[in-house]
Amino acid sequence: MAATNRKIGEIRIPVPWGHVAAKTWGEPDDQLVLCVHGVMDNAGTFDRLIERLPSSFYYVCIDLPGHGKSTHFPPHLPIHTTDYLLVYREVTRHFDDRKFVLIGHSYGGQIGFMYAQIYPNHVKSLIMLDTLTSYPVPTDYFDVYMAERIEDHLRIANNLRSNRPPLYTREEALEKLITGRRSLKPMPTESAEALLTRAIEPAGDLYKFTTDQRLKNFINPLRDYSIDLPGHGRSSHFPPHLPVHTFNYIFVYKIIHRHFGRKLTILGHSYGGQIGFLFAQLYPECVAKLAMFDTISLFPVSTRNFKSAVRRAVEAHLELERKLAEGRRPAYTLEEALEKTWRGRSYAPISKEAAEALVERAVEPAGDGLYRFTLDQRVKNVINPLRDVRNILTVMKLNPVTCPVLIVLGTESTAQQILFSPLIQELKKRRNVRIKFAEGNHDVHNDKPELVAPHVLKFLALQSNKL
């Protein structure tokens, strides 16, 4: 039975970038009920509902990061649905992985549904309020959707740098909540009042909304210069604490294009070529030519392995955060660092000469004649778009790369050639694509550049209409 005199409290759940704020109802020893709101709302959305629910449960109504009284996510990067999966996992760890009932409204329910797929042993039951699943992105709309998200993020980031947030009286802020919903009908005043307390903070005699503006644009599960991608070499790392997503690197490619202001010719090895191919799908007007070294596509996630793949990524990130918080980075002599680079490759050892070319940008002095690697450890756990081969093939057909493309594959790098056989067959049909082979493994461009250079020289010299 419902009770109006139950204990109401506020808690803060520590997370690496700050805290997740939550409003609680009831006694902590009772059955845990996690309540999660939708986009642009906050924990207050459940106030009027919980008043009518049984008092024998412990209701924890969180403000998702970027909402209410919770710390925003680290700045500068777009917000991804996977980031919120990480928040759910941080919250459940805080409660010692107790089984919980999950009540989710709108986007909160969508993430909850995905979490229940990935961690079925954590969720006792799931209540979804006016939602089913994350909105799908049709394959024939993929390029438009992703380009719009990237451009909107750049616009929002620019606005945040140049503008102060608008200020309102309390009455004006309440009116904005009432009339500013995405739904067709204005929100009732009582409902808006429940949200307002957690949605604004004082700014002198006026108020400003605490909502992270990036939430208007979150992303659902998409001369010669050599660049160090963020987290590699001499480039700055991405902001801390969140996983690294492939779409973050698409954002980097777009910033580079904007910096130079002209069409790019992209030479990309492995993951760099995979991002280049995706960038050329999304921004065909930005890419003049694309050369890919021993790579074909981002590695797929089969529908059968969806749960294990996402769960493994979330847990690996949490474990990595723990290690980074507890330990110092190891230091090596220059010879040891060279040996580690030389023999520690994922696919096969590279030549000493190839390793020397990498080590120069891969280490920094750590005192006493020792060195440490500058690599952002999160890049060992990059989260790719959750697509299987069938989806990748469909998107490739509907959103083809239209610029000239050269793909050079190592003869010994056979695993991906088998995995991506349908994609290779499709690419061979394209008049703008050339596929060549060079004797060697995944790093053939660095191990045996004399075998790869002739293909690249010929490709760069060709006029586009002669390919």
- The structure's pTM equals 0.75
Residue 329 lies in a domain: no
DSSP run (H or E) holding 336: helix 334-343
Tell me what the mean pLDDT of segment 310-323 comes to: 84
Tell me what the mean pLDDT of segment 259-269 comes to: 90
Q: What tens digit of pLDDT does each residue of 47-67 get?
A: 888 988 999 999 999 998 888
Q: What is the 3-state secondary structure (H, E, C) of 40-68?
A: CCCHHHHHHHHCCCECCEEEEEECCCCCC
Q: What tens digit of pLDDT does each residue of 62-81 get?
A: 998 888 888 888 877 777 88
Per-residue pLDDT band for 231 (boundaries 50, 70, 90) equals low
Residue 155 lies in a domain: yes
Per-residue pLDDT band for 466 (boundaries 50, 70, 90) equals low
Q: Which two tokens stand for residue 358?
A: 């990498």
Tell me, what's the pLDDT at 218? 54
Tell me, what's the pLDDT at 414? 84
Distance CA 19, CA 200 (A): 17
Q: Which of 14-18, 50-54, 134-138 has the lowest mean pLDDT?
A: 134-138
Total structural domains within the chain: 1
Tell me, what's the pLDDT at 3? 47
Residue 388 lies in a domain: no
User: Over pLDDT 70: what percentage of the chain?
Assistant: 89
Distance CA 360, CA 378 (A): 21
| Tokens 């065909």 -> residue | 284
Tell me what the mean pLDDT of segment 125-154 comes to: 79
Decide if pLDDT at 349 tops 80. no
Q: How many CA atoms lie within 13 A of 292 on its CB side?
A: 29
Tell me, what's the pLDDT at 330? 81
Residue 12 lies in a domain: no
Per-residue pLDDT band for 4 (boundaries 50, 70, 90) equals low
Tell me, what's the pLDDT at 440? 87
Decide if pLDDT at 12 tops 90. yes
Per-residue pLDDT band for 343 (boundaries 50, 70, 90) equals confident
Residue 389 lies in a domain: no
Residue 92 lies in a domain: no
Distance CA 217, CA 78 (A): 8
Residue 178 lies in a domain: yes
Higher pLDDT, 383 or 151: 151
Residue 297 lies in a domain: no
Decide if pLDDT at 102 tops 80. yes
Tell me what the mean pLDDT of segment 322-349 comes to: 79
Q: Which domain holds residue 208?
A: 139-217
| Tokens 């660092």 -> residue | 337
Per-residue pLDDT band for 399 (boundaries 50, 70, 90) equals confident
Burial (CB count within 10 angstroms: exposed 0-12, middle 13-18, buried 19+), residue 66? buried
Residues with a known catalytic role: 106
- 141-158 burial, b at 16+ Cβ within 10 Å, e below that, comes to ebbeebbebbeebbebbe
Decide if pLDDT at 184 tops 50. no
**Most confident option among 197-206, 422-431, 439-448:** 422-431
The type of residue at 438 is A
